[in-house]
Amino acid sequence: METTTISCPYYNSDTLVILDGVDGEIDLVSDCENCCRPINLRATVECGEVVGLMLNEHAFHLFQKPVKQ
């Protein structure tokens, strides 16, 4: 298993993400260790190492409650 550290877009702190280590693109949702909010991300793994990581900010809105106006 491969691990990587990302910065939580809500809490602005580092959180550890565990990946399965399979080569290719991995889409997953991981909860922040600090604020427990879900983080949607895509990782690219080659030869068992993370070579690319993208946080999909647009997906975060799917998990937030609508704001009443």
Give per-residue pLDDT as tens, 28-39: 898 988 899 998
Residue 48 belongs to some domain of the structure: yes
**Domain total for the chain?**
1
By the 8 A CB rule, do 37 and 62 touch?
A: no
What stretches in the chain show pLDDT beneath 70? Answer: 21, 56-69
Residue 68 belongs to some domain of the structure: no
Residue 55 belongs to some domain of the structure: yes
Residue 67 belongs to some domain of the structure: no
The rounded distance, in Å, linking the Cα atoms of 44 and 49 is 8
**In which domain, by residue range, is 14 found?**
2-62
Q: For residue 13, count other CB atoms closer than 10 A to its CB.
A: 11
